[in-house]
Structure 1
Amino acid sequence: MLTTPLNDPLLTERESAREAAAPEGPSVSKDAWKRRFRKTHADWPTYASDSATTAEAEWFNLSEPDREAAADRLGAYVLHVRQQLGRSKFCAFAVYLRDKLWERVPENAADGRSAQPLEAKPFGKAWGAARFACLMLEPTGSPPKLTTAQEQMIDQGLYSRDDLLREKRAMNGWPRVNTMHERAIRRRLGVACDPALAGLTDLFGKVHRDSPAWIAWRDLHAKKGWPWFGPDRDCPEWVWMPAPPDAPETYSNPFAEVRAALARFEAEHANLTQRQAAE
């Protein structure tokens, strides 16, 4: 039996108060926000060398409106830094999120759509420069460990310990590079390239995937424990790689050629890093 009228003002007021106090559920699922994070992070200039784990943690520390703003104003912030502030060096994406740097962009700044040309096309010069710049960094994570089965195979003489450790390091040591490979091969997507790397693109030349130089590059990656692109059949016919300082025929073999090419890239990248540190 009802003892309070349905239109009782006191009842209505209490219900309104309860509704106002009730926490709202998330308007977008966490998986959807993770996809938005990955898409947004890929457009950040330091994407290739960032820690995705740290950046994602900062992303979820933000409120949903702040995540929307961070994504929507990213391009405007990049243009603001490059054009208005005259800087070419960018902080990590996690710092952009943590410090809410998009809030420093003037309200009348461009919306950032013109920042899209910063995207480095898969397997191109700028993409290669970003990739090798990332490989110049020390591997991340804990040192690789072998499983019991792998130890047994080593004892049986089936595998070399060093070879297995290098393979494990290639899979886990440079996650940014592996992500670049996955985006390029499976989805034909590039990455946002740090404008400061533009000067290194002149060091690159085209290498055919069936050439002796390609095989030498693949062997060099294996020796260093660096991740390779994957099966050759998944790669385009031509890929931009560091070119040697002299004509290929001046080297005794293709491996000497690619070692010289890598040495030149390493030297120029080190010079660039030193200049950026001095700014």
Structure 2
Amino acid sequence: MIWRCGVARRKSWDADDELWAVIEPLLPKVERRARHPGRKRHPDRLVFQGILFVLHTGIAWEHLPQELGFGSGMTCWRRLAEWTEAGVWPRLHEVLLAELRGANALDFSRAAVDGPHPRVKGGPKTGRSPVDRGRAGSKHHLITDATGIPLAATLTGGNRNDVTQLIPLLQAVPPVRGKRGRPRRRPDVVLADRGYDHDKYRRRLWDLGVKPQIARRSTEHGSGLGIQRWVVERAFAHLHWFRRLRIRWEIRDDIHEAFLSLACSILCWRRLKKLRAR
């Protein structure tokens, strides 16, 4: 089977001790009942690795390999839903961003935004996609710092214009701690392509204290923004390397958003590990 080749090559879904030390305190504590406790709860760490396995491979929950010890696909799905409801994934992302800022790895001098379309099978936050013959679709919206670290990601229907999500995306950036003083939330400059060209939203960015650098429609290509804005396109390539994000299989939008947030956290963790390895 294909996943067996992946096991032999690498186990990218393994939660190493350092990552687990960050995640475990964020998980809700579940006390086992003294009377009629029922079956013992499957270990959280193994279940989390099962969730990572699905995120990486895109495999259906019911096909999750039992021999890898993750528990059943339904167990992993229920735990994912439980942790999503408890707000684990945004907190994980915020913690990792704080560690990156503390290591001087976050650059808020500018940020870049973009919003491509993954394929979708249905559910809330879908709409007729103008780039896929009017089929139902969703959009991932992403904002990164100047180096391509994901600051926030959101999900909307495929019929939502990119520019309408510019302010909500900026507001989705959490308060990033990691240094003395007030947390940082706003970049100094936002870079965007022609899809975000609208003077109304330029004014709204100025009102938030952010300088807009947005390419103008009906002008020749070669604005020069691509020299700096390519980092968000690279970040999307890294996000969509997670097979579960290439096609939206989840009917529940909150579950797909959980995968999206978790993937952003994994990218942050990889950058943090590279810094620690130096």
Q: Per the shorter chain, which TM-score range?
A: under 0.3
Q: Counting strand residues as a fraction of each chain, which structure ranks higher?
A: 2
**TM-score normalised by the chain length of structure 1:** 0.26
**TM-score normalised by the chain length of structure 2:** 0.26
